[in-house]
A and B are shown apart, each in its own frame.
Chain A
Amino acid sequence: GDSVTQMEGPVTLSEEAFLTINCTYTATGYPSLFWYVQYPGEGLQLLLKATKADDKGSNKGFEATYRKETTSFHLEKGSVQVSDSAVYFCALSGGRFGAGTRLTVKP
């Protein structure tokens, strides 16, 4: 069945550091891919999405590119802020989520 594998956390970075959170997937067909973010005490919210191969989703300085050849959708941000501290989930259409990666950014 479809599945999502995410880089295990937690990840701790200093402010302005570069962030990469790896995500690979297994799926039949051509799913849409999503990154969701969960801030403390809240539910998940959509961060960005991509619907077909080579699409790049972007939002709030975060980017991810749909790579069909490597079945990956890695999340990147060039310069993280303390306010980016949260749990990040990679997901496929069909409601399949990765385990989540907790990011802590220190000032």
Chain B
Amino acid sequence: KAGVTQTPRYLIKTRGQQVTLSCSPISGHRSVSWYQQTPGQGLQFLFEYFSETQRNKGNFPGRFSGRQFSNSRSEMNVSTLELGDSALYLCASNRIGIGSISGANVLTFGAGSRLTVL
């Protein structure tokens, strides 16, 4: 079956611009979560969407937002970009939602979107 698809894979923006990233989950997965990966901060949780509703949110400013569509595809948006937003943005899908303690709660990740802010 097809994996998690993220687009675009690479992009370059300048400070003050905004960016939208897309994530298509595995068919049948209703949960999509987003992570920011940087060398200094590691992997940080942004938010999770489940059946079009935001269920969990990490500690990021309001410039970071997201949404999920009825087909479970998700987008995240970063407005007023700052240099510090340069990172690899990963999305992950799963069937039951990241809040479950079940061992079935395995995340399948996309390859990521690498954002460079100049």
Kindly identify, within residues 34 to 61 of chain A, every residue whose CB is under 8 Å from any CB belonging to chain B: 34, 36, 41-46, 49-51
> Size band of the A side of the interface?
20 to 34
- Give the complex CA separation of A44 and B42 in angstroms: 13
Known contacts: A95-B45, A97-B42, A97-B43. The answer to whether A43 contacts B101 by CB under 8 A is no
Q: Are A41 and B99 in contact (CB under 8 A)?
A: no
Q: Tally A-B pairs: CB < 8 A.
A: 67
Q: Which of B43, B92, B103, B110 contacts A49 (CB 8 A)?
A: B103
Instruction: With both chains docked as a complex, state the minimum distance between the C-beta of B30 and any C-beta of chain A, in angstroms.
Output: 15
Known contacts: A95-B48, A95-B56. The answer to whether A51 contacts B111 by CB under 8 A is no
- Give the complex CA separation of A94 and B96 in angstroms: 11
B76 at the interface (CB under 8 A from A): no
- Give the complex CA separation of A39 and B41 in angstroms: 18
Kindly identify, within residues 84 to 115 of chain B, every residue whose CB is under 8 Å from any CB belonging to chain A: 90, 92, 98-103, 105-112
> Size band of the B side of the interface?
20 to 34
**Cβ–Cβ < 8 Å partners of B105 in chain A:** 32, 93-94
Q: Which residue of B lies closest to A57 (CB)?
A: B103
B33 at the interface (CB under 8 A from A): yes
B4 at the interface (CB under 8 A from A): yes
Binding site for A on B (CB under 8 A): 4, 6, 33, 35, 41-43, 45, 48, 56, 90, 92, 98-103, 105-112
Binding site for B on A (CB under 8 A): 29-32, 34, 36, 41-46, 49-51, 89, 91, 93-100
Told that A43-B6, A51-B103, A94-B105 touch, could you supply 10 new A-B pairs with CB distance under 8 A?
A32-B102, A42-B111, A43-B4, A43-B92, A93-B98, A93-B101, A97-B42, A97-B43, A99-B41, A100-B42
Q: Can you give 27 A-B contacts (C-beta < 8 A)? A: A30-B101, A32-B102, A32-B105, A34-B106, A42-B112, A43-B92, A43-B110, A43-B112, A44-B90, A44-B92, A44-B109, A46-B106, A49-B106, A91-B107, A93-B98, A93-B101, A93-B102, A93-B103, A93-B105, A94-B101, A95-B56, A95-B92, A96-B45, A97-B42, A97-B43, A99-B42, A99-B43
